Amino acid sequence: MKHPNLAELLDLLLDAGSWSCWDTAPARPASGAAYRRDLSRAAERSGADESIRTGAGRVAGHRVAIVASEYGFLGGSVGVVAAERATAAIERATAEERILLALPASGGTRMQEGTPAFLRMLTISGAIAEHRAASLPYLVYLRHPTTGGVLASWASLGHVTFAEPGALVGFLGPRVVEALTGTTFAAGTQSPRELRRAGALDALVAPADLREAVRRVLTVVTADRGLATVRGGVGKPPARVAAAAARDPWASVLATRAPDRPGLREFLAASTSDLTSLGASELGHGPDVPGTPIVTALALLRGAPCVVIGQDRTAQRHRPIGVRDLHAARQAVQRAADLRLPVVTVIDTPGAELSPEAERDGLATTIAHCLAALMSAPVPTVSVLLGQGTGGAALALLPTDVAVAAEDAWLAPLPPEGASVIMHRTVDRAAGLAREMFITADDLRRLGIVDLILPGPDAPSGADLGTRISVDVRGRMTDIADGAVELLRTVGGQHPATRLAARRERYRRLPP
**pLDDT tens series, the chain, 512 aa:** 689 999 999 999 999 999 999 999 888 777 888 999 999 999 999 999 999 999 999 999 999 999 999 999 999 999 999 999 999 999 999 999 999 999 999 999 999 999 999 999 999 999 999 999 999 999 999 999 999 999 999 999 999 999 999 999 998 877 887 787 888 887 777 899 999 999 999 999 999 999 999 999 999 999 874 334 444 444 555 544 544 456 899 999 999 999 999 999 999 999 999 999 999 999 988 767 789 999 999 999 999 999 999 999 999 999 999 999 999 999 999 999 999 999 999 999 999 999 999 999 999 999 999 999 999 999 999 999 999 999 999 999 999 999 999 999 999 999 988 888 999 999 888 898 899 999 999 999 999 999 999 999 875 554 444 455 578 899 999 999 999 999 999 999 899 999 999 999 998 888 77
pLDDT at position 466, please?
Answer: 46
User: Does one domain contain both 14 and 140?
Assistant: yes
137 to 163, 199, 215, 297, 465: CA distances (angstroms) = 17, 19, 13, 15, 46
Q: What is the DSSP letter of 237?
A: P
Question: Residue 76 carries which side chain, given as an amino acid letter?
Answer: G
Q: Report how far residue 270's alpha carbon sits from residue 278's, in angstroms, rounded to the nearest whole number.
A: 20
Task: Count Cβ atoms below 10 Å from residue 472 Cβ, excluding itself.
Answer: 18
Among 266, 268, 286, CA closest to 277: 268
Q: DSSP class of residue 200? A: S
The three-point CA angle 385-391-395 to 5° equals: 55
Q: Are 98 and 215 in a shared domain?
A: yes
Domain that holds residue 121: 6-221
**The pLDDT value given to residue 511:** 79
E strands along 23-83, which residues? 52-59, 62-69
| Pairing between β-strand 52-59 and β-strand 62-69 as defined by DSSP bridges | antiparallel
Question: 297 near 275, Cβ under 8 Å?
Answer: yes
Residues 421 and 305 in one domain: yes
Report the pLDDT value the prediction gives residue 185, as an integer from 0 to 100. Answer: 80
Residue 96 class from Cβ within 10 Å (0-12 exposed, 13-18 middle, 19+ buried)? exposed
**Which residues have C-beta within 8 Å of that of residue 422, sequence separation ≥ 6?**
414
Q: What share of the chain is helix, strand, coil (3-state, %, to 5)?
A: 40, 20, 40
Q: 205, 221, 237 — which closes off a domain?
A: 221
Residue ending a domain, among 221, 239, 270, is: 221
Three-state DSSP state, 327: helix
Please tell me the distance from the alpha carbon of residue 297 to that of residue 306, in angstroms, as a whole number: 8
CATH number at residue 60: 3.90.226.10
Query: By the 8 A CB rule, do 85 and 23 touch?
Result: yes
241 inside domain: no
The answer to whether residues 503 and 401 touch, using CB atoms and an 8 Å cutoff, is: yes
CA pair distance 73, 6, nearest whole angstrom:
11
What is the reported pLDDT for 51? Answer: 96
Contacts of 356 (CB under 8 A, 6+ apart): none
Q: Same structural domain for residues 215 and 270?
A: no
Any domain includes 231: no
Q: Are residues 197 and 278 in the same domain?
A: no
55, β-bridge pairs = 21, 66
- Please name the residues in contact with 444: beta carbons below 8 A apart, sequence gap of 6 or more: 385, 403, 405, 411, 450
Examine the domain organization and report whether 358 and 485 are in the same domain: yes
380 and 459 share one domain: yes
Question: 380 exposed, middle or buried (CB, 10 Å; 0-12, 13-18, 19+)?
Answer: buried
Residue 326 lies in a domain: yes
Per the structure, the count of domains in the chain is 2
CA pair distance 44, 53, nearest whole angstrom: 16
User: 228 lies in a domain?
Assistant: no
Burial of 197 (0-12, 13-18, 19+ CB in 10 A): middle
pLDDT of residue 480: 97
Mark which of 221, 238, 260 sits at the end of a domain. Answer: 221
Residue 239 within a domain: no
Residue 325 inside a domain? The answer is yes
Q: Is 217 part of any domain? A: yes
Residue 200 lies inside a defined structural domain of this protein: yes
- Looking at the structure, do residues 265 and 211 belong to the same domain, yes or no? no
- 297 and 403 housed in the same domain: yes
